[in-house]
Amino acid sequence: MQNPELLTGQVLLTHANPFDAPATEALTVERRGAVLIDGGRIVATGTAEALRKENPQAKTTDYGDALILPGFIDAHVHYPQTGIIASWGKRLIDWLNSYTFPEEMRFGDAAYAQGVADRYLDLTLANGTTTVCSYCTIHPQSVDAFFSAAIARGLRAYAGKTCMDRNAPDGLRDSPQSAYDDSKALLERWHGQDRLEYVITPRFSPTSTPDQLNALGALWAEHPDCLMQTHLSEQVDEIAWVRGLFPNARDYLDTYETHGLLGARGLYGHAIHLEAREKDRLREIGAGLVHCPTSNTFIGSGLFDMAGLMAAGQPIGLATDTGGGSSFSMLRTMAAAYEIGQLRGTPLHPAQLLWLATAGSAQVLHASNKIGRIAPGYEADLCILDLASTPAIAQRATRAKDIWEQVFPTIMMGDDRAIMAVYAGGKKQIGT
Ligand code: GUN
Ligand code: ZN
């Protein structure tokens, strides 16, 4: 071993999908546990007592009653929307035109893009998030800025150039050929470097011509190990717009399917208003859906059917959708997912919420063997959660009868004050 480090505290262990197995068996907590890390990876987990004895040479940090869990994984974000988060009063299409597109226009300036990328990753790290999957803007320099910022912080990160060749303002459109060429060049520059992965990124069907969708479908076919991300069935008006733009399509998903943009490595954000054929097809393919609860309530999109889709075996991850989403925090995002579950009559267990924000998102990113769990061999991306970070949370948590009742107040009421420390690739990025 090179430089072993032992972190002790309450350790969250993930054994199975808590939507398939009883939630409290799928995830368990070692009350006096420890995680041994070395060379950027998790080497062992166990009781603090045993691992201390076996590794007397390891530098030990005791986090007491805090919960050591995998760093949060935010499977759908728009880092360029950092500066316009919490913009008032519009629904999707007006929100894009009024707030999003004018801001994204500014990312042609590489220095501006770098400033926002740095600020964004500082904010997400402070909130316990160690991996995000981000849309950039149409400008290649917005991708360079994001990946440079991720490398500087030692993060596993996913991102791609957003492609749009219609229904976007002047200065924010590419073409089928330039989208293909720029995406390919960025993919060749960044994909596989360090812990970075390039994601092919058509924004959504309304802002791409069939020619552009075809070009990106062809690029994906040439690079089948890449992920592809887009938006699907977020708002009713958007679906009607898609129907008008693609009169021959069977449904919204078909606009991707017929252009080579439906696959197991596809990530489809929102997916609220799905038709039966779309649900069947997504499940059959094993594509990933990404639930963005604070965005869905903030932009007024609707209530995602987590329970129904999970019961059918659909892979689903969790995300902020910053800045349509109203938070950088995956704690706040889990709280919103809980509230949407309540409105549908299907409350999610705290173990299910924590799973979605870690292993669930890892699964849709096809990184289940690398991140999202605390287990030997996994990358040492960890978040240490203070379960009594404010007086309001502390007074509730002290009454808890078990760990799930102890952690739930932090899920519902916690923010960046609950984040005691964050490790990325074994290096402490947040905390003293
Ligand atoms: N659909 C297409 N683009 C976007 C976006 O930037 N945010 C959200 N929430 N939905 C979209
Ligand atoms: Zn989005």
Q: What is the CATH number of the domain that holds 376?
A: 2.30.40.10
CB of 204 within 6 A of ligand 1: the answer is: yes
Q: Which amino acid is at 325?
A: G
Could you list the beta-strand ranges (E) of 295-360.
Answer: 316-318
Helix (H) or strand (E) segment spanning residue 30: strand 27-38
For the cut 90, the answer to whether the pLDDT of residue 247 exceeds it is yes
Residue to mutate (ligand 1; options 203, 208, 326; most atoms within 8 A of CB): 203
| Domain membership of residue 116 as a residue range | 72-364
Burial bucket for residue 415 (CB in 10 Å: 0-12, 13-18, 19+): middle
Separation of alpha carbons 274 and 312, rounded Å: 14
Query: Which position has the token pair 């060429």?
Result: 181
169 and 293 share one domain: yes
62 and 79 share one domain: no
Ligand nearest to the CA of 92: 1
Average pLDDT over residues 309-334: 98
Final residue of a domain: which of 329, 364, 399?
364
> CA separation (Å) from 411 to 129, 284, 332, 385?
14, 33, 7, 10
For the cut 90, the answer to whether the pLDDT of residue 25 exceeds it is yes
66 and 128 share one domain: no
Distance between Cα 93 and ligand 1 center (Å)? 8
Distance between Cα 310 and ligand 1 center (Å)? 24
pLDDT tens, 363-380?
999 999 999 999 999 999
Output the pLDDT for position 224. 98
Q: Kindly provide the ipTM of the predicted complex, given to two decimals.
A: 0.99
pLDDT tens, 380-398?
999 999 999 999 999 999 9
Query: Which position has the token pair 């197995």?
Result: 21
CB of 295 within 6 A of ligand 1: the answer is: yes
Output the pLDDT for position 432. 85
Output the pLDDT for position 368. 98
Output the pLDDT for position 2. 87
What is the count of structural domains for the chain?
Answer: 2
77 and 194 share one domain: yes
**CATH code of 278's domain:** 3.20.20.140
Distance between Cα 268 and ligand 2 center (Å)? 9
62 and 176 share one domain: no
- List the one residue out of 308, 427, 328, 386 whose CA is nearest residue 69: 386
Return the ligand 1 atom nearest residue 206 CA: 2
Could you list the beta-strand ranges (E) of 112-271.
Answer: 129-135, 157-160, 162-163, 196-202, 227-232, 266-270
For the cut 90, the answer to whether the pLDDT of residue 56 exceeds it is yes
Separation of alpha carbons 130 and 58, rounded Å: 24
For the cut 90, the answer to whether the pLDDT of residue 1 exceeds it is no
CB of 234 within 6 A of ligand 1: the answer is: yes
CB of 153 within 6 A of ligand 1: the answer is: no
Q: Are 113 and 161 in contact (CB under 8 A)?
A: no
Final residue of a domain: which of 338, 364, 390?
364
pLDDT tens, 81-104?
999 999 999 999 999 999 999 999
82 and 181 share one domain: yes
Separation of alpha carbons 43 and 63, rounded Å: 18
- DSSP-assigned letter for residue 79: G
Output the pLDDT for position 91. 95
Query: Which position has the token pair 């970075």?
Result: 196
